[in-house]
Amino acid sequence: MATRKKSVKAATKTTKQKTAGKTAKKTARKSASKTTPSRRRTRGTSEMPDRIFAIASPRSRGGVSMFTPGVMADAETVGNFTSDPDDIQRAIAMLQDAGFEVLQATELTINFSGARSQFERAFNTRLVAEERETIKGGGEVELATFIDSTDNAVDGLIETTGTPFADVIEGIAIETPRYFMSPSIFPPRKSYWHLTVPGDVSVGCNADKAHRGGTTGTGIRIAMVDSGFYRHPFFEARGYRVAPVTLGPGATLPLRDEIGHGTGESANIFAVAPDIELLPVKAANGTALVNTTGAFNAAVALSPHIITNSWGSSRQNGPLSAADQAMAASIAAAVASGIVVVFSAGNGHWGFPGQHPDVISAGGAYMSENGNLRASDYASGFMSNIYPGRRVPDLSGLVGMRPGAKYIMLPVEAGDLIDTDGAGGTHPNGDETARNDAWAAFSGTSAAAPQLAGAAALIKQACPRLTPAEVRDVLMRTARDVTTGTNHPNFGITAGIGPDAATGNGLVDAHRAVLTAKLRCMAVPLIPPLRPIVPPLRPFLPPLGPIVPPLRPFTPSRPLIPTIPLRPLLPLTPAVPLLPVRPVLPLIPIRPILTPILTPIRVPGPGGGLNPNTQAEDAGPGFSAEEITELEKMIMERGEAP
Amino acid sequence: MMITARRSGAHARSPADDILSALVIVRAASGRRLAGSAAIDSSTIAAHAPAPGDVELAQQAYGDHGFAVGPYIGISFAISAPCSVFERQLGVKLAVDAQGTVSVSANGTDFGQEVPLDRVPPALRRHVEALTFMPPTSLHGSDEPATMI
C-alpha cells in the first residue's frame, strides 16, 4: 500500500520521549484517552512473539471485505460476509501449504497462526511489534504489544493484493491484545468533589450511627425495578446479598445490565442499609426500558418489604392514560398490602409515578465538601396537578448539581451505556473516568430513591409493624431541613425554613429515623393485645386433667419427680399480658384497610406473605403516646450534624 | 438522565421475533371506567376491582392465545409474546422506535400505545377494560436534564 504507516514515525517520536525519563512517561499516561489504542500513542518497538495469531477472511459472498474501512458487520449484514465452502477450503489449503497452522474455520473466517517469517514471506509484507498504551483489565492505562504490518493504513491488517492469496482471501487481521474486563472493587480516584459508596453516602444520609447501633437492614428485602444488575466485584467484595435477577415481562439477559443504571444506583441502597437482601427486577431489553408496570408487578409478586424505583415519565396534567392508571393501581395495591414503595421525583420531570400519593417521593439535596446542604438544581419539586394537594417530593436524598449531576462514583458494568457515555471530559461535564473501567459518576433523583429505600429498610428493621404511611412519616419528620438553594429550573422553587417543594422535608437522616422508629415500636399495639393471655389458661381446662396420672405411680420411684404437673401453675401470674389493657393512642392514624371489594387485590404481604398488621408481636415494652412524642421531640431537637 | 434507548436502526420497525410486552387492564365490576376517572390511589382503587373470576378468565384466554401471562396486581397483568403473535392475535400492526416504545396502528390509523379493543377477538376482550403498551419511560439518573413536557 502506498500509505506509509504513521506508526513508524510515532514509534520514533516516542523513543525520543523515552529519553525524557519518568516524568514524560507519566505525562503521556495521564493524557491517554480512553479510546482504543491509536498509533499516536505508540511508545516504542518491542520484541516479536514466536507465534502470531491471525484471522483470514475468505472471499465474501457480498463482494465486500469485512476489513474494508467503514464497513461494519452486524446481525443484519453479517450474511454478506460469509464465504462459499469451496472458497473456504481453498483458503485453508493455501494457508497450510504456506506452513501456517489452521486452528479453526467458520463460514466467516479462518483462524490460524504462524511465525513472523511465514507471514512476511507468504503475504509479502513486513511485521513490526509496537508497545502502545491501552486500557487493560480494571481500566488501567498500560503498555501492550501490538503487531502490525507496514503496508497499509488499517491497524493490524495484512493485505493480500499482489500475493497468490489475493483470489481467495480478502485480508488478514492480526490478533490484537485483549484483557479480562475485571473491574476494580475500588472506584478510580478523582480530584473533583464527589461522593463514594458506601462511605460518603452512608455518612451523608447519617446512616453510620444507625449501623453502629446494630440497625443495618437485616431481614429486610428490597426489590429494585431498574435496568438490571451486574455482579460487579464491588458488591461481591463487601458481601452484599443480592438475589438472582428477576426478568420483568419483555426483559432479557438476566446477567447483564446494558445500561448500568440499576447496578450503580443499587449501591446507594447498600450504603444506607448494608444487610438488606436486594431483589433486582430487570425492566430492560438492551438499553430500552420495557413494560415498567409489568416489571413493578413482578416485584410486588416477590413479596418484598420495599420496592424502589428510579424512573418515570413526565405528567404535568391529567387525565392519566390507561397505562398510567394501571401503574397507579399497582402502586396503590402494593402499598395497601404493606409494601413501602419509593419513587424518584424526576430530574426536571413532572415525575410520575413520583407524584403518586401513596409513594415516598424522593427529591434531591446537595451536600458540599464542607457538609453544607442546599437544594439540588437537578431535582424536581412541584405541587401535583394530577393529585391535588400532593407535594413532591416528600424528602430528599443526596443528588448532584447541574449540568450533569456527576456526583456519586458508582459501580457499573464495564463498557455499558453509562460507563461509555459519561466517560471522559472534565468535571462537571464529564466524570473523568475511563469508558470501560466499570465505574461512573452519576446521581439524579435516581440516587435519592434507593437511599430513601435503604433508610426505610432500617426503619422496618427497627419497627417491623410500621405501615408504609408510618414509615414515610418517620422519614419526613426526622429529615434535616434544607434551607437554601433552588430546585430544577423547570420549577425554580427555592428552599426555605420548613417543608417546601424544593426538597420536601429535607435530607434523609437515617439515624434519627431509626431512633424514632424504635420509639414508636415501643408503643403497645392497639390491635392484638389479648392473644397472649389465651395459651396459659389452657392447662386449667377440665378435659386435660393433667394432675391425675402422676398421682398414680406405676413404680415406687417415679411419682416423686412429677415435672409436668408443675407447669400449669405458672400462668397464674400473668404480669405481661395485662399490659395491653392500658389504652394507647396510636401516634399516626393507622391506614384503614381497604374497603371491601368484590375481588381482593391480590398482593402477597411483604417479607413473604406476612401482613404488617399481624406483626404487632414485635412491639416492645409500653410507652405512652405522650412519652413517645416527648422522646421524639428530644431526638429532633438535638439537631446533630451528620 | 434521560438515558435514552439505542436500538440498532433508529427508525420504527416491526421485528417479528422481538419479544414485546403489554398490559391487560381488567374491567371493573362496579362498571367504573378508567376514562374520566380520577387518578387511582389507595383510597380509590377499590372502585376498580374486577368481579370474582374475571381475572382468571382473562389470564387464561391470553395464555391460550400464545401469550405469557404475568401476575395480576392492582388492576392489570402483563402479557408477553413475539411481535408476530401480538399482530396476529390482536389484528394490529406494531412498530418499535429507538426508545423501545411500541406504537399501534391498523388500516393506516395510528392508535398510539393502546390497542383498540374493537379489533381484538371477543375471547380476548371479554372482561378487559384496556389493552395497552407502556408509554416512554426514562431513568432518573444523571446526564441530560429532562426538558419540560
Residue A553 pLDDT greater than 80, yes or no: no
Position A609 pLDDT exceeds 80: no
Nearest-CA distance B100 → chain A (Å) = 5
Shared-domain flag, residues A161 and A271: no
Task: Find, in chain B, the residue whose alpha carbon is nearest to that of A602.
Answer: B73
Q: Supply angle C-alpha B99, B103, B107, rounded to 5.
A: 155
Tell whether A302 is covered by a domain.
yes
Residue B149 lies in a domain: no
Q: What is the pLDDT of residue A622?
A: 66
Q: Residue B143 domain-assigned?
A: no
Lowest mean pLDDT among A75-79, A97-101, A529-533, B140-144: A529-533
* Domain co-membership, A141 together with A256: no
Cell 502506498, residue?
A2
Within a domain: B2: no
Quote the CA–CA distance of A141 and A139 in Å, as a whole number: 6
At A630, which amino acid appears?
Answer: E
A456-479 tens-digit pLDDT: 999 999 999 999 999 999 999 999
Q: Is residue A539 in some structural domain?
A: no
- Cα–Cα distance between A382 and A355 in angstroms, integer? 9
Q: Are residues A163 and A202 in the same domain?
A: no
Residue A202 and residue A57 share a domain: no
- State which of A144, A174, A204 marks the end of a domain: A174
Residue A404 is nearest to which of B70, B134, B142, comparing CB atoms?
B142
pLDDT of residue A452: 98
A305 plus A430 within the same structural domain: yes
Please state, in angstroms and rounded to a whole number, the distance separating the CA atoms of residues A15 and A160: 31
B146 at interface of A, judged by CB pairs closer than 8 A? yes
- Is residue B110 included in any domain, yes or no? yes
Phi, psi of A217 (to 5 degrees): 100, 10
Cα separation, A549 vs A562, in Å, equals: 10
Residue B112, domain member (yes or no): yes
pLDDT of the residue at B12: 54
Residue A309: per-residue pLDDT: 98
- Mean pLDDT lowest for which of A217-231, A437-451, A511-525, A557-571? A557-571
Cell of residue B75, nine digits: 388492576
Residue A273 lies in a domain: yes
What letter represents residue A582's amino acid?
R
Cβ–Cβ under 8 Å, residues A488 and A377:
yes
Question: pLDDT band at residue A181, thresholds of 50, 70 and 90?
Answer: low
Closest CA of chain B from A599, distance in Å: 5
- Residue A517 identity (one-letter amino acid): A
One domain, residues A334 and A445: yes
Total tally of structural domains belonging to chain A: 2
Task: Tell whether A354 and A407 lie within a shared domain.
Answer: yes
Q: Per-residue pLDDT averaged across A221-247, rounded?
A: 97
Task: Tell me, yes or no, whether A148 and A226 share the same domain.
Answer: no
A387-436 confidence digits (pLDDT tens): 999 999 999 999 999 999 999 999 999 999 999 988 888 999 999 999 88
- Residues A96 and A244 occupy one common structural domain: no
pLDDT given for residue B51 in this prediction = 97
Alpha-carbon gap, residue A568 to A244, rounded angstroms:
49
Q: Which residues contact A16 (CB under 8 A, 6 or more apart)?
A: none
Q: Which three cell numbers stand for residue A581?
A: 389493657
Interface contact flag, B5 A330, Cβ < 8 Å: no
The verdict on residue B12 lying in a domain is no
Q: How confident is the model at residue A632 (pLDDT cuts 50, 70, 90)?
A: confident
The CA radius of gyration of chain A, in Å to the nearest whole number, is 33
C-alpha to C-alpha distance for B120 and B129, rounded to whole angstroms: 12
Closest alpha carbon to B78 in A323, A335, A317, A521: A323
In a domain, A368, yes or no: yes
User: Does residue B14 lie within any of the structural domains?
Assistant: no
Q: What residues have CB less than 8 Å from A527, skipping those under 6 apart? A: A613, A616
In a domain, B13, yes or no: no
CB B16 within 8 A of CB B82: yes
| C-alpha–C-alpha distance, residues A271 and A216, integer Å | 10
Q: What is the mean pLDDT of residues A158-185?
A: 87
Taking the Cβ of residue B13 and every Cβ of chain A, the question of whether any pair is shorter than 8 Å is answered with no
- Looking at residue A490, its pLDDT comes to 96
More confident residue, A503 or A626: A503
- Domain boundary (A522, A550, A579) is at A522
Q: Is the confidence metric ipTM above 0.85 for this complex?
A: yes
Q: Which domain holds residue A160?
A: 6-174
The parent domain of residue B27 ranges over: 19-132
- How many domains in chain B? 1
CA distances to A404, A476, B118 from A325, in Å: 31, 27, 21
Whether residue A279 lies inside any domain: the answer is yes
Nearest to A146 by CA among A160, A131, A158, A161: A131
More confident residue, A633 or A527: A633
Q: Are residues A168 and A203 in the same domain?
A: no
**Is the Cβ–Cβ distance between A440 and A187 less than 8 Å?**
no
Are the beta carbons of A504 and A395 closer than 8 angstroms? yes
pLDDT more than 70, % of chain A: 75
Q: Measured between beta carbons, which residues in chain B are less than 8 angstroms from residue A449? A: 140
> Do A143 and A215 belong to one domain?
no
What does the pLDDT read at residue A505? 98
In a domain, A577, yes or no: no
- Output the CA angle A250-A252-A257, nearest 5 degrees: 125
Residues near A224 by beta carbon (within 8 Å), at least 6 away in sequence: A262, A265, A266, A269, A278, A279, A280, A281, A299, A307, A308, A309, A310, A450, A453
Provide mean pLDDT across the span A489-510: 98
pLDDT mean over B6-34: 77
User: Higher confidence at residue A141 or residue A6?
Assistant: A141
* 3 state DSSP class of A113: strand
Name residue B103's beta-bridge partners: B95
Mutate which of B27, B77, B83, B140 to test chain A, going by most A C-beta atoms within 10 A?
Answer: B140
Cell of A127: 511485521
Q: Using CB atoms, which residue from B71, B99, B149 is nearest to A298? A: B71
Q: Assess whether pLDDT exceeds 90 at residue A448.
A: yes
The answer for B 85-144 residues in CB contact with A (under 8 A) is: 98-100, 113-114, 129-130, 132-144
Residue A141: band (very low, low, confident or very high) from pLDDT cuts 50, 70, 90: low
Q: Is the pLDDT of residue A162 over 70?
A: yes
More confident residue, A564 or A274: A274
pLDDT for A133: 77
Within 10 angstroms of residue A564's Cβ, the number of other Cβ atoms is 12
Task: Indicate whether A616 belongs to any domain.
Answer: no
**DSSP code string of A496-563:** -SS-BTTTBT-B--HHHHHHHHHHHHHBPPSSSTTGGGHHHHGGGSGGG-TTTGGGS-SSSSGGG--T
pLDDT at A625: 80
CATH of the domain at A330: 3.40.50.200
Residue A260 lies in a domain: yes
Last residue of one domain, picked from the residues A487, A522, A557? A522
Regarding whether A274 and A133 lie in a shared domain, the answer is no
Distance between CA atoms of residues A102 and A85, nearest Å:
16
pLDDT for A70: 82
